[in-house]
Amino acid sequence: MCLGNYLMRKAFIVVSLLYFTVLAIIIIYFVLQNNVETLLSIFFSEEIRFAIVLTLATSITASTLSLILSIPVAYSLANYSFKGKKAIELLTDLPLALPPILLSFALLLFLARNPIVKFLESMGFELLFTSYAIVIALLLYITPEVVKILYSAFSSVDRRYHMVLKTLGYGDFQSFLKVDLPLSAKGIASAFIVALARSIGAFGAILLVSGAIKGKTETLSIAIFLNWQGGNMDAAIAAATVLILISLILFYIFERIKK
């Protein structure tokens, strides 16, 4: 029995090491494809700077809005029983099972045929193929995962704290502010970082509604696609390298939050 445990432990560790070794080799090999001078010149080019700014602006905006929307949804699902709860849970989980490009296509059709959107366009306010469309697509894309993270955070709060506060005359909203938010702070911060990471790397979810227009709706992921499609591999690799650096920074922050 002890031998079996030993062999299982060794086998699992070897598989883990092999997986992460292959992954590290692929990433390192990719980064080494960069020529430093070429990378720096492209990095400071107008196109990549625009892509970085647009990526960060849309991602931060969508992640913030998603957090604001997800907190009451996740709290309700974690603490209340009400009619339609199962339907909300189902609809929350459904986008996680759908391909991101399908989400982008569905949103494209909805916005293109929506009378309110058409009215706004007639008034001179463009929505499709703009940064606004990117934010909306990202919001729909990341919110289900944010809700799930926050749901776990709120569910882990000991209900006895609420009972104690009720005996002291505190209402639900005061309990939410004094107990749930402080005790779920790490979960909320983690949800924001995860949302930001997914937004920054999003491609399929924003491709169709953004129109992938160079210099207008060109995020870093779209910059990779457009430059690869146009045969400019140096620019594509530079944009991808920036994405890797941003992802590493967010991963570091996420690990610090968890401790």
The secondary structure of 154-172 as a DSSP string is HHTS-THHHHHHHHTT--H
pLDDT at 3: 66
Question: Is position 39 within any domain?
Answer: no
Using CA atoms in the order 231, 234, 240, 244, what is the torsion angle rounded to 10 degrees? 160
Q: Are residues 111 and 134 in the same domain?
A: yes
pLDDT at 207: 93
- Is 153:186 a contact under the CB 8 Å cutoff? yes
Q: Are residues 10 and 111 in the same domain?
A: no
Q: Are residues 123 and 225 in the same domain?
A: yes
Q: Are residues 132 and 192 in the same domain?
A: yes
Tens of each residue's pLDDT in the chain, 259 residues = 566 677 788 888 889 899 989 988 888 887 777 677 777 777 778 888 899 999 999 999 999 999 999 999 999 998 888 888 888 888 888 878 888 999 999 999 999 888 888 888 888 888 889 999 999 999 999 999 999 999 999 988 887 877 777 777 777 778 888 888 888 999 999 999 999 999 999 999 999 999 999 989 999 999 999 999 988 888 888 888 888 888 888 888 888 776 6
pLDDT at 57: 95
pLDDT at 259: 66
CATH number at residue 205: 1.10.3720.10
Domain that residue 28 falls in: 1-32
For 174-220, what is the HEC assignment? HHHHHHHHHHCHHHHHHHHHHHHHHHHCCCHHHHHHHCCCCCCCCCH
pLDDT at 206: 94
Helix (H) or strand (E) holding 44: none
- How many structural domains does the chain have? 2
Which of 230, 127, 209, 206 lies closest to 220 in space, CA to CA?
Answer: 206
pLDDT at 4: 67
Question: Is position 41 within any domain?
Answer: no
Q: Are residues 61 and 5 in the same domain?
A: no
41: CB partners within 8 A, 6+ apart: none
Tell me the per-residue pLDDT of 123-140, one tens digit each, with 9 for 90 and over.
888 888 999 999 999 999
Alpha helices in the chain (DSSP H): 2-31, 36-43, 46-79, 85-97, 100-113, 115-122, 131-155, 160-167, 172-175, 181-183, 185-200, 204-210, 220-229, 233-258
In angstroms, the CA 157 to CA 74 distance is 13
In angstroms, the CA 124 to CA 120 distance is 6
With the C-alpha atoms ordered 61, 67, 68, 70, is the resulting torsion angle positive or negative? positive
Q: How far is CA 172 from the centre of its chain?
A: 30
Q: Are residues 207 and 237 in the same domain?
A: yes
Tell me the per-residue pLDDT of 43-70, one tens digit each, with 9 for 90 and over.
778 888 899 999 999 999 999 999 999 9
Q: Are residues 101 and 196 in the same domain?
A: yes
Q: Are residues 53 and 18 in the same domain?
A: no
In angstroms, the CA 196 to CA 123 distance is 32
Question: Is position 40 within any domain?
Answer: no
Tell me the per-residue pLDDT of 194-206, one tens digit each, with 9 for 90 and over.
999 999 999 999 9
Which of 207, 254, 253 lies closest to 229 in space, CA to CA?
Answer: 207
pLDDT at 222: 94
Q: Rounded to two decimals, what is the model's pTM?
A: 0.86
